[in-house]
Structure 1
Amino acid sequence: MKKFLLSIMTLGAVVGLAACGTGSTDTKETSSQETSKNEKVDITAVGSTALQPLVEKVADIYMTDHPNYTITVQGGGSGTGLTQVSQGAVDIGNSDVYAEEKDGIDASKIEDHKVAVVGVAPVVNPEVGVTTISSEDLKGIFTGKITNWKEVGGRDQTIELINRAAGSGTRATFEQWALEGEQPAKGQEQDSSGTVRKIVAETPGAISYLAFSYIDDSIQGLAIDEVEPKAENVLDNSWKIWAYEHMYTQKGASKDILNFVEYMKTDDVQQHVIKDLGYIPISEMTVEKDLDGTVK
């Protein structure tokens, strides 16, 4: 009987030691996972100033939930973003246009992530006396054929053209869909959407174009052919000046980078942040636009 009890006690001790050993392994694995979550992650996103406010806002939210992340967002235009991400100089290149549309960009090296849709509208100084314009008159203004606001029902005032700089995705979108490929007249050029808004608001007779997300009470967005520049009119292509917002990454980008990009596509961002800032969720579009500009 004593031998039997001794055997039972010995077996219990062995099982106990084994259980302790297993617990030790689990602790190490948990600790390792926690350390991984605390590793510092630095991400730099550069490019489209039309997309910049959205990426900045979402980055702030993401960094609050993931304090180990530092996400730096800069402008510079779509061309700059595409060039730098394709060269590996930044992690994310923000763009209003497809990489294939930009000369000198090897689109095969980068991955496209569409995160939103943006409408673009002509905007004017509120004192010009015009709130709607025909598509033909709009082309006439930007090609230099119409030079005074009185020619389109406004004040007797010289029209001051403000263009985005070459390489701007907003400019490319506006020229493709509003000017239908016609060459714009020479005028002042600016790199930043924010700067354009400020200049239009402060310059008598000024006209330019901006993403819906930049239009506020300091400027006047123009209706075209009686169609208002509103998100609901973009959904079915009633308002034709719009583009996808792209966040390009290098092929084989790290999971840390891709996790942030994928977060841009979540319902919380799409249905709240995107709408609050004047962008349009891709999921609500009733039409699609391909690389060639064909709307389906």
Structure 2
Amino acid sequence: MKKTLAMLLSLTLCVGLFAGCSSSGSEESAAPSGSPSTETSAEPAGNEETSTLSGTVNLNGSTSVENVILTLGEAFMEANPDVTVNYDPTGSGTGINAALEGTCDLGLASRDLDEEETAQGLTSTVFALDGIAIIVNSENSVSDLTIEQIAGLATGEITNWSEVGGIDAPVVLIGREAGSGTRDGFESITGTEDACVYTQELTSTGAVIQAVAGNPNAFGYASLSAVEGQDGVKAISVNGVAPSEETVLDGSYQVQRNFNFVYMADAELSDAAQAFMEYAVSADAADLVAGAGAVPVA
């Protein structure tokens, strides 16, 4: 089981950017909330027009984006000789605060900003889509639930698995801590904000998966990219639709959310941070995002 922890990526190679990347950092090149820009991106060396980036890109926030961010960070540093990408997996709420306070270059959030946060000057750029898998223990016979049934299980309206076609056993909900983007996404989509009855509230996606795997009566939620290939749990269908890249992209799988970069709208990002964000939403990075278990936006 992968543990989420602070990770430092450090590789150095060469870079070539699309024309215009070297002077990025203006409001004109930063995409508005929910609308990623793909006009410029970091490319492997080989273009005639090249510009050398240097410095450090500090990323702070969501643990759900770990696979995607580590994959993108490694590829970006392989293409850039003097850039280090640091990723601190602290949770979406902490990442948003870090962006607000200016203690990181880009915050990472697996939920959208709320009105209060945007009123403080924050904006966001979507760099991937993610399905939130509803997971049960692999011994659980339940394989499909409606949104209404999931809400009932989460709020305690449904207390026994036999009420939704399972065995006669109590329902145990395991989820994330307050401020988690995954929790926010799950509760907002199921309409259970401030109403869920948690047996455990854990501080990482991996911990939720592990806890559900260890309790045959448990269910919870986790990023789809983190669930694939994990022993002891299974992702169930929702309203008859199984979670997958295809069903998230076409919208038929209802329990999904955005992975966002968060930053101050009026702040000028460093050249390295701007180039990394543009690379992450570009077509050049699409295969890497998909390979990391999320759905690319380009």
Amino acid at match of 2:167: R
Q: Structure 1 CA distance, aligned partners of 2:272 and 2:239?
A: 46
* Residue 128 of structure 1 pairs with residue 140 of structure 2: yes
TM-superposed deviation, 1:192: 0.7
Counterpart selection for 1:255 from 266, 271, 274: 271
Structure 1 unpaired stretches of 5+: 1-35, 284-296
Greater Cα shift, 82-91 or 193-202? 193-202
For residues 38-57 of structure 1, what are the structure 2 equivalents within 5 Å? Answer: 39=54, 41-57=55-71
The two structures have a TM-score, normalised by structure 1, of 0.77
Displaced runs of 4+ in structure 1, greater than 3 A? Answer: 36-39, 105-111, 179-182
Counterpart selection for 1:83 from 82, 89, 97: 97
TM-superposed deviation, 1:106: 5.3
Q: Secondary structure at the match of 1:237?
A: coil
* Residue 168 of structure 1 pairs with residue 184 of structure 2: no
* Residue 116 of structure 1 pairs with residue 128 of structure 2: yes
* Residue 268 of structure 1 pairs with residue 284 of structure 2: yes
Q: Structure 2 CA distance, aligned partners of 1:174 and 1:85?
A: 23
Q: Structure 1 CA distance, aligned partners of 2:96 and 2:248?
A: 25
Q: Structure 2 CA distance, aligned partners of 1:113 and 1:252?
A: 15
TM-superposed deviation, 1:81: 0.5
Q: Is the 8 A contact 2:137 2:217 kept in 1?
A: yes
Q: Structure 2 CA distance, aligned partners of 1:125 and 1:93?
A: 32
Counterpart selection for 2:218 from 201, 206, 211: 206
Q: Secondary structure at the match of 1:184?
A: coil
**Where does residue 21 of structure 1 map in the other structure?**
none
Counterpart selection for 2:73 from 51, 59, 66: 59
The alignment of Structure 1 onto Structure 2 pairs a total of residues equal to 244
For residues 1-296 of structure 1, what are the structure 2 equivalents within 5 Å? Answer: 37=52, 39=54, 41-101=55-115, 103=116, 105=117, 107-179=119-191, 181=193, 183-216=195-228, 217-218=230-231, 219-250=233-264, 251-270=267-286, 272-283=287-298
Taking only the aligned residue pairs, the percentage that are identical comes to: 30
Q: Is the 8 A contact 1:233 1:239 kept in 2?
A: yes
Larger Rg: 1
Structure 2 unpaired stretches of 5+: 1-50
TM-superposed deviation, 1:181: 4.5
Q: Secondary structure at the match of 1:58?
A: helix
Q: Secondary structure at the match of 1:99?
A: coil
**CA RMSD across the alignment:** 2.0
